[in-house]
Amino acid sequence: IKELYENGQIATQYIDFDGNIAHGMPFNPNNSLFGIEGIT
């Protein structure tokens, strides 16, 4: 995951209403690490 961040490959992340990375329900429905939703 560190390499994905360093290479700019994290395309989308789950966030809450305040724009913070969502680490759990209800904003991160699959409970993915660091709120990662999509990678490239």
Predicted structure pTM score = 0.82
What pLDDT is recorded for position 39? 97
Neighbours of 4 (CB within 10 A): 14
Q: What is the pLDDT of residues 14-36, one digit of tens each?
A: 999 999 999 999 999 999 999 99
Burial label, 13 (beta-carbon count in 10 A; 0-12, 13-18, 19+)? middle
Looking up tokens 């360093």 gives 6
